Amino acid sequence: MDVDGARRVILAACPVLPSAILPLGDALGCVTAGPVVAGHDVPSFANSAMDGYAVRATDTATAPVILDVVGTAAAGSAPGVEVGTRQAVRIMTGAVVPVGADAIVMVERTSPADEGGGRVVIDMVASPGDHVRHPGEDLRAGQVMFEGGTELGPGHLGVLASVGATTVDVVPPARVGVLSTGDELVADGRPLRPGQIRDSNRPMLLALVERAGCVPVDLGAAPDDEEAIAVAIRAGVTGCDAVLTSGGVSVGDFDYVRTVLDRMGDMHWWQVAVRPAKPLAFGTVAGTPVFGLPGNPVSSLVSFELFARPALRQMMGHPELFRPKVPAVAQEAFRRRPDGRLHLLCVVATLDDENRWHVRSSGGQGSHLLRTMALANALALLPDGDGVEEGASVEVLLLA
Residue ranges in contact with ligand AMP by CB under 6 A: 180, 182, 184-185, 197, 199-202, 246-248, 250, 252, 255, 294-297
Please, are residues 81 and 98 in contact by the beta-carbon 8 Å criterion? yes
Q: Which does 288 bind (CB under 5 to 8 A by kind): Mg ion, ligand AMP, none?
A: none
Enumerate residues 6+ apart whose C-beta is below 8 A from 59: 65, 67, 85, 86, 87, 122
Min dist CB 184 to Mg ion, Å, is 7
Single-letter amino acid code for the residue at 389? E
Q: Is 43 near Mg ion (CB under 5 A)?
A: no
Q: Which is nearer to ligand AMP, 32 or 367 (CB)?
A: 367
Q: Which is nearer to ligand AMP, 185 or 315 (CB)?
A: 185
Q: Which does 98 bind (CB under 5 to 8 A by kind): Mg ion, ligand AMP, none?
A: none
Min dist CB 381 to ligand AMP, Å, is 23
Min dist CB 247 to Mg ion, Å, is 4
3-state DSSP call for residue 238?
helix
Min dist CB 367 to ligand AMP, Å, is 8
Phi-psi bin for 220: left (phi > 0), alpha (psi -120 to 50), beta? Answer: left
d(CA 304, CA 291): 9
d(CA 258, CA 247): 9
Q: Which is nearer to Mg ion, 47 or 181 (CB)?
A: 181
Q: Which does 216 bind (CB under 5 to 8 A by kind): ligand AMP, Mg ion, none?
A: none
Q: Which is nearer to ligand AMP, 193 or 352 (CB)?
A: 193
Of positions 43, 98, 213, 248, contacts Mg ion by CB under 5 A:
248
Min dist CB 218 to ligand AMP, Å, is 12
Q: Which does 65 bind (CB under 5 to 8 A by kind): Mg ion, ligand AMP, none?
A: none
Please, are residues 121 and 113 in contact by the beta-carbon 8 Å criterion? yes
User: Length of the chain in residues, anyone?
Assistant: 400
3-state DSSP call for residue 400?
coil
From residue 63, alpha-carbon distances to 40, 116, 233 in Å are: 38, 22, 80
Min dist CB 293 to ligand AMP, Å, is 9
* Options 118-126, 131-139, 291-299, 336-344: segment touching Mg ion (CB under 5 A): 291-299
Q: Which does 350 bind (CB under 5 to 8 A by kind): Mg ion, ligand AMP, none?
A: none
> How many Å is the Cα radius of gyration of the chain?
31
DSSP string for 25-41: GG-TT-EESS-EE-SS-
Q: Which does 185 bind (CB under 5 to 8 A by kind): Mg ion, ligand AMP, none?
A: ligand AMP
Min dist CB 190 to ligand AMP, Å, is 15
Q: Which is nearer to Mg ion, 146 or 291 (CB)?
A: 291
Enumerate residues 6+ apart whose C-beta is below 8 A from 197: 184, 185, 186
Q: Is 172 near Mg ion (CB under 5 A)?
A: no
Interface size with Mg ion, residues (CB under 5 A): 4
Please, are residues 38 and 145 in contact by the beta-carbon 8 Å criterion? yes
Q: What number of CA atoms fall less than 13 Å from residue 230's CA on the CB side?
A: 9
Q: Is 182 near Mg ion (CB under 5 A)?
A: yes
Enumerate residues 6+ apart whose C-beta is below 8 A from 62: none
Contact positions vs Mg ion (CB under 5 A):
182, 247-248, 295
